[in-house]
């Protein structure tokens, strides 16, 4: 059998790939060139460990750089495990971890240090900016830090000071250099108690004696405490906490390294010292490690990535008696001409971190260059000329209004390019608007994928201006430089940064592109913004004059409240603004221009949720500074997350080269390669930090800047060039000075036989058109919630999961999770709780102690509302224990069982977590799902059919992932007073599970085929009213509902 597994896992691989997959080395370094099939190698390497070496799957860890890469690797691993799995047995991961390093750190902290970290979440960068804004003046002491930074000449102004503070905090954490006194204390259960608790935290690390270093140490301790009080860990803190425990807690280290002893890590060229320490811990414990990377693609030095750590690791691997280095030189992505250009460019990188750079070779024998005109380089007099040329060329590759595109692929994989196969890549986002305008003028749909680029879209400027005007901010802050928001506004709209100027200019620009903007939109939106501002600053009821003019019924009701609100929710205001603008009627569903605008607004909605994640926002200056901080952080290059898209739009991608890492496109335009832009004139600037350099010698700021050869910038160009499969064009608007990169690339292109100055007319004669088809084998990673949205209303799914729109966060947010945490504790020790049920008063006291231990924590609720929800939770959980004491006394349970189950028919991976598995007579089990509220009004809003599907998916997962035999499912309503209605049984027979499988596969197929046109399903009629997006949905059903309910 082992020989059969070997042949299957090595079949179809080239010699180098096979050597990597089947290597007997404990320590293996893989130098994976671009397009080398590294994901396939990693997947087969993992399957080899399982099928040939006999390793338990739950002992394997696979690190990826992004969640998207993790999803792809999960699919590949499952499919390759299927090759070594007997027929009829599901090829499950069975506890294997595949994901990002920071998520692994949080997972281990939750599992192996649960008493302290179980209730924690990772805080993304938008949310932590929001958290810092909340504590800026008082708790965090950042006003004093700002003054010290200003005096030291390192930062002028609030937001520059925040940037300096967080940059310093992160770099210290990435070196695991920060320690805090009081870190072992338990965080308080109530928000009102957090300030006093945070003030007791101190920084033990000597950062120097300067005023700035001392101010930073004070604020860093408070910030760390604030994170802990809110049950958050940001990316750098999660890794530092994990490494600290590995170094100081022998029992914790033994649990981690005893549980996980096989590691494969991708993108090892971009690791930081904390991540290197995690690898070292597994290596030193005798674990087996496969490290995969390419120093030529090390592009994240500005985020703490250090290519020298890869060099050091590979040097140790090469010297180890049980180590080996394996290159993967074959490129299966690009044509030979593109490979030749990339190899020549890689040779210009001077610092290779002590590693060899094997040149790439073509891995696909029949992938040939069809004509020189498909690869070219050209200078233009102006950026507008350059942008127009790019748009015209794309029109030749993907003719507008046609179902055909340029021939691509080979043999039975031959197809025509679609818009999603095309990318325009730039070094920085400053001038991306020029390319977007040119594509619009040529009728080419294009989307900007998150990050600073998003803030150059006029529709985003419009909505942000309305929100900021409502908050009391009169104009955008920032200087006149092109990267600031005022600079972007001047470039795109040609007006001042005052919101009264931005709003009409943005509306006029949108109207010029054919959108149906209401004639009174500017008056309406300014009126609503001013009314919101008045409501936020006036203690009592405001004058109703003007309120009757407001279109949004929800906004009118809020404006007419008797008292000034204690808290505000930016996402709710965001939807009011869109409704007031008549956003849902700007265009028709499917219109390319309207869909691009909706996509950008949806991405903005997704990012705005970060302002609500960290906690509730106050009505005064809190909202204003939250929004100002959000904008300045975003345009300043902050790591703003991109909404996860389950079905990406068919549009050209406009993005930065950094954002394109890990992606590939049939046609790539590397644009704006002009003097001072690429290489960036700021690349060699040393980063500044708020500690004394002599006190922290482990951090060398000079080493974090680019060298005289601009090697970091050269690596970035290498990444951009190697994203292309067949068509590659590099261009610039040279002006008076030509970029050194253009000067060096031009002879490289010419030596490789590329066209010196291809023009669209010439290109057209070399294009063979073929019917369009999906470019890469698609996969779908989803959850029951996502499938539910689609089944109830495909348009809801489209708005939420394709465009990125996010519903407002309610005050009760977190209540259900808190109840689930309490129930988890009950089912972890069921017999003890069954005994407590004999004494009702003692039972309630025991539940309250769980609350005091932090298991019921609400970030968005304080005071009386918190007390009411907490008392409700204590009462409901106590009633549950009393009602099911007989069950708790005699049975065992496994609470909160996460799963990932594959439906191979449509390559769909469904993830989730079963609330409780009741071990009736293992492997026979009952699956229990909790719903908060009464049976006729539970908070989930699920129909019985949807709940049956949910439990059915759990049943499939329990059978295939956990090897259980589920007898039945039970939906239990926590808070239902009628004993006869507390439980809803769900059949989990083989026939019912088979039907669930068919339903999931059919739904996934419809999502994959983008069947989003329908409105609410027949059984969901009437859902437009309570729908999260009913007021901004463009579907006919939503429009009809708004018409019926309008005044």
- Kindly indicate the confidence band of residue 177, based on its pLDDT and cuts at 50, 70 and 90: very high
Transcribe 351-413 into DSSP letters: --TT---PPPEE--TT-----GGGEEEEEESSHHHHHHHHHHHHHHHS-TT-SEEEEES-GGG
pLDDT value at residue 827: 98
Sequence-separated (6 or more) residues with CB below 8 Å from residue 873:
815, 818, 819, 822, 851, 856
The reply to whether omega before 905 is within 30° of 0 (cis) is: no
Q: Is 643 helix (H, G, I), strand (E, B) or coil?
A: coil
Decide: residue 197, CB within 10 A, 0-12 exposed, 13-18 middle, 19+ buried. middle
Higher pLDDT, 943 or 27: 27
Report helix angle 621-635 to 570-580, nearest 10. 80
- Kindly indicate the confidence band of residue 424, based on its pLDDT and cuts at 50, 70 and 90: very high
- Kindly indicate the confidence band of residue 934, based on its pLDDT and cuts at 50, 70 and 90: confident
Decide: residue 789, CB within 10 A, 0-12 exposed, 13-18 middle, 19+ buried. buried
Does the pLDDT at position 232 exceed 70?
Answer: yes
The model's pLDDT over 6-47, given as tens digits with 9 standing for 90+, comes to 999 999 999 999 999 999 999 999 999 999 999 999 999 999
Most confident range (mean pLDDT) of 640-654, 854-868, 926-940 is: 854-868
Does the pLDDT at position 328 exceed 90?
Answer: yes
pLDDT value at residue 940: 61
Element (H, E) at 433: helix 432-441
Q: In 507-622, at which residue ranges do the beta strands (DSSP E only) sit?
A: none
pLDDT value at residue 99: 94
Share above pLDDT 90 across residues of the chain, in percent, rounded to a whole number? 65
pLDDT value at residue 763: 67
pLDDT value at residue 544: 84
The model's pLDDT over 796-819, given as tens digits with 9 standing for 90+, comes to 999 999 888 999 876 667 889 999
Decide: residue 132, CB within 10 A, 0-12 exposed, 13-18 middle, 19+ buried. buried
823, 877 in Cβ contact below 8 A? yes
Does the pLDDT at position 423 exceed 60?
Answer: yes
Distance CA 491, CA 458 (A): 11
3-class secondary structure per residue, 528-559: HHHHHHHHHHCCCCCCCCCHHHCCCHHHHHHH
Per mean pLDDT, which range of 846-850, 936-940, 985-989, 1030-1034 is the poorest?
936-940
133, 117 in Cβ contact below 8 A? no
- Kindly indicate the confidence band of residue 714, based on its pLDDT and cuts at 50, 70 and 90: very high
Say how many residues make up the chain.
Answer: 1047
pLDDT value at residue 760: 67
Distance CA 30, CA 352 (A): 15
Does the pLDDT at position 456 exceed 80?
Answer: yes
3-class secondary structure per residue, 488-501: HHHHHCCCCCEHHH
The model's pLDDT over 524-534, given as tens digits with 9 standing for 90+, comes to 999 999 999 99
The model's pLDDT over 367-397, given as tens digits with 9 standing for 90+, comes to 888 888 899 999 998 989 999 999 999 999 9
Sequence-separated (6 or more) residues with CB below 8 Å from residue 456:
429, 430, 432, 433, 436, 448, 488, 491, 492
pLDDT value at residue 741: 95
Tokens at 211, concatenated: 């005023």
Q: What is the CATH number of domain 2-109+243-332?
A: 3.40.50.300
474, 499 in Cβ contact below 8 A? yes
Residue carrying structure tokens 């994989």: 413
pLDDT value at residue 365: 82
pLDDT value at residue 944: 87
Q: What mean pLDDT comes out for the span 418-432? A: 86
The alpha carbon of residue 81 and the mean position of all alpha carbons in its chain are separated, in whole angstroms, by: 27
pLDDT value at residue 462: 97
Tokens at 315, concatenated: 């040097």
Sequence-separated (6 or more) residues with CB below 8 Å from residue 843:
833, 836, 837, 878, 881, 882
Does the pLDDT at position 521 exceed 80?
Answer: yes
Calculate ∠ Cα 879-880-884, nearest 5°.
120
Give the count of beta carbons closer than 10 Å to the beta carbon of residue 949: 23
CA atoms within 13 A on the CB side of 1008: 20
Q: What mean pLDDT comes out for the span 129-133? A: 92
Per mean pLDDT, which range of 11-15, 498-502, 631-635, 668-672 is the poorest?
631-635
Sequence-separated (6 or more) residues with CB below 8 Å from residue 35:
331, 332, 333, 334, 360, 363, 664, 722
Does the pLDDT at position 775 exceed 60?
Answer: no
What ranges do the domains of the chain cover? 2-109+243-332, 121-230, 372-445+648-687+697-771, 452-635, 783-790+806-1008
Alpha-helix residue ranges (DSSP H) falling in 180-306 = 194-198, 211-229, 235-248, 250-259, 273-284
Contacts 24+ apart (CB under 8 A), 1028-1031: 1028/796, 1028/800, 1028/805, 1028/807, 1028/808, 1029/575, 1029/796, 1029/799, 1029/800, 1029/805, 1029/807, 1031/552, 1031/554, 1031/575, 1031/578, 1031/579, 1031/584
Report helix angle 432-441 to 485-492, nearest 10. 30
568, 618 in Cβ contact below 8 A? yes
Tokens at 572, concatenated: 């709710």
Higher pLDDT, 91 or 840: 840
Does the pLDDT at position 686 exceed 80?
Answer: yes
Residue carrying structure tokens 């506890």: 95
| Average pLDDT over all residues of the chain | 90
- Kindly indicate the confidence band of residue 546, based on its pLDDT and cuts at 50, 70 and 90: confident
Domain 783-790+806-1008: CATH class, spelled out? alpha beta
The model's pLDDT over 46-82, given as tens digits with 9 standing for 90+, comes to 999 999 999 999 999 999 998 888 988 999 999 999 9
Domain 372-445+648-687+697-771: CATH class, spelled out? alpha beta
Domains 2-109+243-332 and 372-445+648-687+697-771 share a fold: yes
Higher pLDDT, 757 or 78: 78
Does the pLDDT at position 641 exceed 90?
Answer: no
pLDDT value at residue 761: 57
Q: What mean pLDDT comes out for the span 101-108? A: 95
The model's pLDDT over 870-907, given as tens digits with 9 standing for 90+, comes to 999 999 999 999 999 999 999 999 999 999 888 888 88
Share above pLDDT 70 across residues of the chain, in percent, rounded to a whole number? 95
Transcribe 16-56 into DSSP letters: HHHHHHT---SEEEEEE-TTS-HHHHHHHHHHHHHHTS---
Distance CA 464, CA 624 (A): 11
CA atoms within 13 A on the CB side of 164: 29
The model's pLDDT over 657-680, given as tens digits with 9 standing for 90+, comes to 988 888 999 999 999 998 888 999
Q: What mean pLDDT comes out for the span 723-746? A: 90
Most confident range (mean pLDDT) of 587-596, 841-850, 973-982 is: 841-850
Does the pLDDT at position 399 exceed 90?
Answer: yes
């Amino acid at each position: 059998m082992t020989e059969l597994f070997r042949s299957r896992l090595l079949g179809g691989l080239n010699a180098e790939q096979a050597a990597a997959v089947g290597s007997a080395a404990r320590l293996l370094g893989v130098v994976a060139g671009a397009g080398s099939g590294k994901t396939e190698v990693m997947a087969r390497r993992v399957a080899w460990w399982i099928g040939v070496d006999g390793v338990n799957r739950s002992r394997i860890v696979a690190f990826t750089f992004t969640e998207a890469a993790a999803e792809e690797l999960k699919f590949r691993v499952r499919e390759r495990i299927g090759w070594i799995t007997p027929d009829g047995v599901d090829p499950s991961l069975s506890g294997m971890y595949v994901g990002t390093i920071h998520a692994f750190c949080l997972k281990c902290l939750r599992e192996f240090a649960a008493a302290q970290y179980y209730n924690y979440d990772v805080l993304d960068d938008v949310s932590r900016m929001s958290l810092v804004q909340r504590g800026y003046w008082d708790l965090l002491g950042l006003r004093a830090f700002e003054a010290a930074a200003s005096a030291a000449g390192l930062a002028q102004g609030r937001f520059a000071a925040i940037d300096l503070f967080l940059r310093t905090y992160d770099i210290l954490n990435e070196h695991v250099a920060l320690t805090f006194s009081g870190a072992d204390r338990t965080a308080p259960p109530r928000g009102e108690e957090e300030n006093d608790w945070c003030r007791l935290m101190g920084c033990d690390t000597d950062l120097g004696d300067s005023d700035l270093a001392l101010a930073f140490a004070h604020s860093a301790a408070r910030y760390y405490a604030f994170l802990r009080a809110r049950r958050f860990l940001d990316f750098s803190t999660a890794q530092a906490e994990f490494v600290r425990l590995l170094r100081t807690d022998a029992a914790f280290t033994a649990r981690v390294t005893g549980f996980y002893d096989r590691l494969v890590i991708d993108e090892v060229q971009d690791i930081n010292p904390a991540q290197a320490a995690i690898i070292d811990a597994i290596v030193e414990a005798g674990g087996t490690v496969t490290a995969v990377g390419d120093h030529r693609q090390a592009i994240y030095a500005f985020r703490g990535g250090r290519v020298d750590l890869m060099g050091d690791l590979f040097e140790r691997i090469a010297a180890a008696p049980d180590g080996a280095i394996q290159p993967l030189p074959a490129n299966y992505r690009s044509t030979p001409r593109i490979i030749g250009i990339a190899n020549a460019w890689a040779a210009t990188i001077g610092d290779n971190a002590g590693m060899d750079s094997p040149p790439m070779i073509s891995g696909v024998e029949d992938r040939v260059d069809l004509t020189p005109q498909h690869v070219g380089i050209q200078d233009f007099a102006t950026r507008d000329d350059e942008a127009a040329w790019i748009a015209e060329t794309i029109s030749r590759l993907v003719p507008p209004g046609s179902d055909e595109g340029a021939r691509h692929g080979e043999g039975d994989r031959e197809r025509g390019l679609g818009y999603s196969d095309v990318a325009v890549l730039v070094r920085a986002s400053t001038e991306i608007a020029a390319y977007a305008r040119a594509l619009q003028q040529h009728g080419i749909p294009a989307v900007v994928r998150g990050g600073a680029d998003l803030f150059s879209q006029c529709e985003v400027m419009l909505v942000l201006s309305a929100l900021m005007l409502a908050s009391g901010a009169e104009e955008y802050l920032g200087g006149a430089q092109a990267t600031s928001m005022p600079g972007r506004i001047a470039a795109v709209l040609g007006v001042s940064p005052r919101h009264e100027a931005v709003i009409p200019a943005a509306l006029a620009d949108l109207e010029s592109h054919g959108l149906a903007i209401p004639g009174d939109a500017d008056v309406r939106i300014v009126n609503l913004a001013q009314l919101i501002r008045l409501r936020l600053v006036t203690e009592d009821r405001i004058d109703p004059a003007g309120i009757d003019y407001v279109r949004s019924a929800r906004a009118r009701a809020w404006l007419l409240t008797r008292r000034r609100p204690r808290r505000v929710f930016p996402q709710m205001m965001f939807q009011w603004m869109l409704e007031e603008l008549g956003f849902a009627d700007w265009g028709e569903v499917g219109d390319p221009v309207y869909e691009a605008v909706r996509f950008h607004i949806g991405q903005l909605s997704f990012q705005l949720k970060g302002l609500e994640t960290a906690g509730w926002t106050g009505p005064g200056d809190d909202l204003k500074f939250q929004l100002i901080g959000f904008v300045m952080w975003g345009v300043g290059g902050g790591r703003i997350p991109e909404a996860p898209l389950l079905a990406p739009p068919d549009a050209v991608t406009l993005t930065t080269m950094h954002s394109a890492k890990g992606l590939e496109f049939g046609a790539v335009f590397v644009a704006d390669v002009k003097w001072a832009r690429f290489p960036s004139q700021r690349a060699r600037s040393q980063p500044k930090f708020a500690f004394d350099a002599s006190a922290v010698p482990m951090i060398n700021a000079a080493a974090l800047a680019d060298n005289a050869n601009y090697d970091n910038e050269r690596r970035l160009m290498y990444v951009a060039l190697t994203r292309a499969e067949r068509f590659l064009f590099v261009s610039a608007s040279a002006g008076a000075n030509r970029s050194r990169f253009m000067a060096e690339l031009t002879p490289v292109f010419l030596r490789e036989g590329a066209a010196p100055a291809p023009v669209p007319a010439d290109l057209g004669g070399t294009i063979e058109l073929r019917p369009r088809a999906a470019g890469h084998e698609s996969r779908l990673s989803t959850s029951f919630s996502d499938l539910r949205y689609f089944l109830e209303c495909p348009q809801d799914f489209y708005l939420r999961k394709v465009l990125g729109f996010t519903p407002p966060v309610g005050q009760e947010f977190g209540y259900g999770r808190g109840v689930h945490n309490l129930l988890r504790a009950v089912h972890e020790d069921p017999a003890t709780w069954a005994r407590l049920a004999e004494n009702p008063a003692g039972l309630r006291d025991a539940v309250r102690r769980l609350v005091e231990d932090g298991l019921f924590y609400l970030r968005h609720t304080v005071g009386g509302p918190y007390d009411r929800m907490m008392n409700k939770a204590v009462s409901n959980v106590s009633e549950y224990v009393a009602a099911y004491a007989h069950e708790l006394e005699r049975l065992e349970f496994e609470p909160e069982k996460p799963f990932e189950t594959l439906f191979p028919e449509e390559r769909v991976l469904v993830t989730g977590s079963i609330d409780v598995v009741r071990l009736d007579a293992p492997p026979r089990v009952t699956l229990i799902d909790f719903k908060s509220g009464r049976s006729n009004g539970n908070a989930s809003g699920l129909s019985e059919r949807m709940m049956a599907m949910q439990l059915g998916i759990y049943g499939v997962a329990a059978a295939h992932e956990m090897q259980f035999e589920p007898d039945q499912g039970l939906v239990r309503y926590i808070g239902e007073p009628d004993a006869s209605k507390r439980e809803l049984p769900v059949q989990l027979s083989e026939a019912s599970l088979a039907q669930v499988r068919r339903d999931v596969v059919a739904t996934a197929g419809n999502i994959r085929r983008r069947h989003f046109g329908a409105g609410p399903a027949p059984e969901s009629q009437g859902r437009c009213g309570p729908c999260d997006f009913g007021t901004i949905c463009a579907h006919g059903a939503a429009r009809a509902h708004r018409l019926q309910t309008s005044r």
